[in-house]
Structure 1
Amino acid sequence: MRSNTVLGSAADFRRGGRRPRRPGPLDAHVAQVFLRDLRAAAPPQLPIFRSRTQGELLARLLLGPERETSMLDLAVMLRTDLGTVIREVERLSRAGILTLRRTTAGRLVRRDTGSPLYEPLARLLMLTFGPAAVVAEEFARVPRVAELYLFGAWAERHDGVRGEPPGDVEVLVVGDAGRDAAFDAAQEATARLGLPVHPVVRTVAQWEDDGDPFLREIRAGHLVRIDAD
């Protein structure tokens, strides 16, 4: 991921390199437009967002590999109506957070990685509306789950490790959960995130056994425990 161009690099500044760019009138305008639209009831995950739909929409577009998406595909992914998606996308486009492109098939939307709000917003969204939140909601329906974790690249990003946006989500399910139920929950999470979700199901005894090289590798990497209660 790119460094924050608004803040610049303190190390570069000390070395006599480029000075960090001061926020200009455009940055102030972007922030004002974004804040002006925050009028509806806020979601409990992070009440700075205008609504849960706005938070979910931003998470789907700002997280994961960069992609261009139709309004209809977003409505299906978010399980909401097309009109709501269009209104939210237009607000966020006016704020400079998303970009719209007209095609013969309709308008396509993608994130604006040049926006000064992109990186800080993406970090907030990952912690509130990202894979961990969606996995928690979908796997809460799976019975007999003792522990639930994100592992792999998304766990690294959750812990602040920089790198390319991960293209899939790896989930460890510990307990006596049925594999079919776990895979059903993964399919629901996949539909919501627009990213493949791969569950690994192990019993408590298997998880505690140190003889499995695959589980040892998972333990040695980043693990994010998810509360799915």
Structure 2
Amino acid sequence: MTFETVFGDTPARRATSLTVARNSPPFEFCPVGSMLREFAPTPLRRQGVRVPQAAHCRPGSGTRRLFIQITGNIIAYVNTQASALSPLFRSDAQGEILARIFLNPDRSFTVAELARAAGTPYASAHREVARIVKMGLAKSEKRGQSLDIRVSTDSPLYRPLAEILRFTYGPPAILPRFLAQVQGIDEAYIYGSWAARREGEQGSAPNDLDVLLVGNPPRAEAYDSAQRAGSALGREVNVRILSPATWAAANDPFTKTLKKRPLVKLELKESVE
């Protein structure tokens, strides 16, 4: 979900805009600190974002919350609740960025590519990448107007971090590499417990992965690719194939339920960028 609002509701104030991208509701916007005196929640409510009373703006489970501190009209910090996939990472965006870099050591990424993959604003991705490079976990190289970011495989933290990322944020970074080789896949999604954790639902760590393929791929090839992806991820990958017509109609109980539950879309083009 993407929304934009303006802080400062009088003509004398300089307007400050905030755009936040997230995959799906529910999402709560929580004003804190000096922002409480200035915040006008109406624009957000019009777009279906729940804005609770300040007294109820506390971290909790099952709902995404965004915490923002504003001094005057300047955004001082933006922070989301901790990742449900792994408490080791500050946010899902951090985990997604690290996974793309660490689990694809044979390629580089631009900051724009990492921001798009993580579903986070460019400025946030740029700050995250700067931290990673400063710690010596990745290297940056200027190419034209952009920076190419590549993991530092000679770092002593490379292997242990890559293993953690493989079991947490690895699926969207690794699955496209294998599925893109199969013809006839129109769309691909992760569903089930991993998708639920990625969308903020609390629970135990997923043991396997459920993947939905929409299209008409050769089944033997699809299952073989899933098996090879499972070997790379260190867990079983269960594939379900639906035709585009079945997916669009959503007449059966399975498809109806699936569309109501968290889905993480896989960008198959990532493997060839």
Aligned to 2:161: 58
CA contact (8 A) 2:184 2:215 kept: yes
Correspondence for 1:38: 137
Distance 1:56 1:194 in 2: 15
| Deviation sequence 1:37-70 (CA, Å, 0-9, x none) | 537679xxx9484249976763433554xxxxxx
Q: Superposed, which structure 2 residues align to 1:9-88 within 5 Å?
A: 38=137, 47=149, 49-51=151-153, 58-62=161-165, 64=167
2:235 pairs with 1:195: yes
> How far apart, in 2, do the equivalents of 1:52 and 1:227 lie?
29
For the residues of structure 2 that align with 1:52 and 1:152, how far apart are their CA atoms?
36
SS of the residue corresponding to residue 172 of structure 2 reads: helix
Aligned residue among 248, 251, 258 for 1:208: 248
Alignment check: 8 A CA contact 2:189 2:212 kept: yes
Structure having the higher helix fraction is 1
1:64-213 alignment to 2 at 5 Å? 64=167, 126=169, 130-213=170-253
| % identical equivalent positions | 29
Shift in CA distance, 55/41, structure 1 to aligned 2, threshold 3 Å: farther
Which fold has the larger relative contact order, with Cα–Cα distance below 8 Å and residues 6 or more apart in sequence?
1
Taking a change above 3 Å as real, the CA distance of residues 144 and 39 of structure 1, as seen in their structure-2 partners, is: closer
1:219 and 2:264 aligned = no
- Gaps of at least 5 residues in structure 1 are 7-33, 65-121
SS of the aligned residue for 1:222 comes to: coil
- 1:107-131 Cα offsets, whole Å, 9 max, x none, are xxxxxxxxxxxxxxx6xxx1xxx10
Amino acid aligned to 2:163: R
Deviation (angstroms), 1:177: 0.7
Q: Which runs of 5+ in 2 are unaligned?
A: 1-83, 91-132, 142-147
- The 8 Å contact of residues 60 and 193 in structure 1, kept in 2 or not, is answered as no
CA displacement, residues 86-111 of structure 1 (integer Å, 9 cap, x when unaligned): xxxxxxxxxxxxxxxxxxxxxxxxxx
The 3-state SS of whatever aligns with 2:211 is: strand
Taking only aligned residues, the RMSD between alpha carbons, in angstroms, comes to: 3.5
Q: With structure 1 as the length reference, what TM-score do the two structures score?
A: 0.50
Give the aligned partner of residue 99 of structure 1. Answer: none
- Is the Cα contact below 8 Å between 1:41 and 1:51 reproduced in 2? no
Secondary structure, in 3 states, of the residue corresponding to 1:201?
Answer: strand
Q: CA deviation at 1:163?
A: 2.3
> How many residue pairs were aligned?
137
For the residue of structure 2 that corresponds to 1:174, the secondary structure is strand
In structure 2, the CA distance between the partners of 1:160 and 1:56, relative to structure 1 (3 Å rule), is: farther
Aligned partner of residue 195 in structure 1, secondary structure: coil
Determine the C-alpha separation between the residues in 2 that align with 1:58 and 1:189: 19
With over 3 angstroms needed to count, the CA separation of the structure-2 counterparts of 1:212 and 1:163, relative to structure 1, is same
Name the CA distance, whole Å, in 2 between partners of 1:55 and 1:170: 28
3 and 154 in structure 1: CA distance in 2 versus 1, 3 angstrom threshold? closer
SS in 2 for 1:184: helix
Paired residues of 2:189 and 2:213 also in contact (CA < 8 A): yes
